């Protein structure tokens, strides 16, 4: 056994292949020893229990604090599946129509236009009769991107405006004035869709997103450490955040990025803004409860939060083919790291559509999502297993960890 690895007391390693567990140990400890990651934690869960839950490294090297099941972590884009589950439940309750255009809930966005070509000038537009639907927001086919300071004219302008006013009000104002990059449904582009959907959920219920998530998801699951805000003594539980450059050297991030959780007085999102695409903070123990919910419901079990029908709809590919077929601007349009060929898009999650074309090791129907700080989770419905990986290093596109993780987990579950 590698000395730097800590094993959770609830782990039952007899549920997986011992050689696979040892390989995962070596991979995590190697990433930390080579200083590619400050810490790493992997969890594999199945109906019989926790198959693998181990970690190594430090979440705060200055005070030599190791990771733990109750370490607070920025989940960033792993917020998106929570927004999706909540939207699907509200639709199931008759409070939301996901096929309706977004302006039905956000009338200030009623005057939609679209660029004649993705590289067009910002005034070279066509007026639309209606905007993207809520489903198109949840599948990244709405025509709304995240912006890019080095991208097209539209991406540059979107990035500039959101840098100047990184708030939900700023998002609404910006989207009311800028065109879509393509007709809704015509292509796939990662963007602010879930944040816009989150605003629609708040309008439909009269509650802020944190309250809504708490009532509908977190309280029923006992996720007491998950939310949009960290303050007081809980700030001591928050892991340090790092960036990694092209030389793969870690650099501590001291100024909290926008569009994330509210962190007391130390920076983060504008007070009161709950970002449905990137704002949650949680712990490994809490996130395991959410992912186990998805695994159990997808396998046909009734849960305290979502029915099998809701989760199975979430995990069904909404595209005619794979994501690669809908990338007119190429893979650089996506800032999370994942394959494109063979991977479909469910509601808020990827779906393994054609595993023969995937460049990572998946079973058919696998679904999950990741965050920009290299967190990721997925559910394997064939193995009836859930997989979670945690660290705090941005961006997720730099190290390409998820290929190796899929390969190693497959060795454990075979």
DSSP 88-111: HHHHHTTS--TTSBGGGT-GGG-S
Which pTM does this prediction carry? Answer: 0.95
Continuous segment of H or E residues that includes residue 251? strand 250-252
Find all residues with CB under 8 Å of 43, minimum gap 6, and list them: 50, 52, 53, 284, 288, 386, 387, 388, 389
pLDDT at 1: 43
Q: What percent of the chain has pLDDT over 70?
A: 95
Backbone angles phi, psi at 344, to 5 degrees: -90, 180
DSSP state of 320: S
10 Å CB burial of residue 302 (0-12, 13-18, 19+) is: exposed
Structure tokens at 325: 């077929």
Residue of 109, 141, 147 lying closest to 128 (CA atoms): 109
pLDDT per residue over 312-364, tens digit each?
999 999 999 999 999 865 545 555 567 889 999 999 999 999 999 988 899 99
pLDDT at 330: 52
pLDDT at 245: 85
Give CA–CA dist 98/348, Å, rounded: 13
Give CA–CA dist 412/414, Å, rounded: 6
DSSP state of 72: B
* CA 364 to chain CA centroid, nearest Å: 20
Across-strand partners of 322?
none
Backbone angles phi, psi at 410, to 5 degrees: -60, -35
Domains of the chain: 6-80+208-413 (3.40.710.10), 98-205 (1.20.58)
As a whole number of angstroms, the longest Cα–Cα distance in the chain is 63
| Regions of the chain where pLDDT drops below 50 | 1, 266, 331
**What order of strands is seen across the sheet that includes strand 367-370?**
6-7, 49-57, 39-46, 385-390, 376-380, 367-370, 350-352, 343-345
What sign results for the dihedral spanned by CA atoms 161, 272, 109, 89?
Answer: positive
Continuous segment of H or E residues that includes residue 388? strand 385-390
pLDDT at 185: 95
**What order of strands is seen across the sheet that includes strand 242-244?**
250-252, 242-244, 393-394
List C-alpha distances in Å: 173 to 108, 152, 161, 183.
8, 20, 9, 20
Structure tokens at 362: 């998946």
Structure tokens at 302: 């009734």
DSSP 42-63: EEEEETTEEEEEEEEE-SBTTT
Structure tokens at 35: 């200083």
């Amino acid at each position: 056994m590698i000395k730097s690895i800590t094993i959770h007391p609830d782990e039952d390693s007899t549920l997986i292949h011992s050689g696979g567990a040892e390989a995962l140990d070596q991979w995590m400890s190697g990433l930390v020893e080579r200083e590619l990651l400050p810490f790493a934690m992997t969890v594999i869960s199945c109906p019989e229990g926790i198959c693998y839950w181990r970690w190594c490294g430090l979440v705060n090297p200055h005070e030599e604090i190791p990771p733990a099941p109750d370490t607070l972590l920025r989940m960033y884009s792993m917020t998106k599946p929570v927004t999706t589950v909540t939207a699907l439940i509200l639709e199931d309750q008759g409070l939301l129509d996901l096929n309706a255009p977004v302006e039905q809930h956000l009338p200030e966005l009623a005057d939609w236009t679209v660029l004649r070509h993705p590289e067009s000038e910002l005034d070279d537009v066509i007026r639309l009769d209606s905007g993207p639907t809520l489903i198109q927001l949840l599948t990244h086919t709405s025509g709304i991107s995240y912006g890019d300071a080095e991208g097209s004219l539209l991406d540059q302008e979107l990035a500039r405006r959101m840098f100047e006013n990184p708030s939900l009000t700023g998002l609404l104002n910006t989207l009311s004035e800028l065109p879509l990059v393509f007709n809704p449904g015509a292509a796939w582009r990662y963007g602010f869709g879930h944040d816009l959907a989150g605003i629609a959920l708040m309008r439909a219920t009269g509650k802020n997103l944190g309250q809504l998530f708490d009532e509908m998801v977190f309280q029923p699951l006992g996720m007491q450490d998950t939310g949009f805000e960290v303050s007081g003594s809980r700030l001591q539980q928050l892991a340090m955040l790092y960036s990694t450059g092209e030389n793969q050297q870690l650099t501590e991030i001291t100024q909290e990025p926008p569009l994330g959780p509210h962190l007391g007085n130390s920076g983060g999102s504008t007070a009161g803004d709950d970002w449905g695409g990137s704002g949650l903070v949680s712990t490994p123990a809490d996130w395991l409860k959410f992912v186990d919910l998805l695994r159990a419901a997808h396998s046909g079990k009734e849960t305290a939060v979502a029915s099998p029908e809701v989760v199975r709809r979430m995990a069904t590919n909404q595209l005619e083919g794979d994501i690669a077929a809908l990338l007119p601007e190429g893979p650089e349009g996506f800032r999370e790291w994942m394959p494109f060929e063979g991977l479909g898009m469910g509601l808020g999650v990827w779906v393994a559509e054609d595993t023969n074309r995937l460049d990572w090791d998946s079973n058919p129907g696998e679904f999950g999502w990741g965050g920009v700080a290299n967190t990721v989770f997925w559910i394997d419905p064939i193995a009836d297993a859930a997989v979670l990986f945690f660290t705090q290093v941005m961006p997720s596109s730099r190290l390409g960890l998820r290929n190796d993780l899929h390969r190693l987990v497959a060795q454990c579950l075979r």
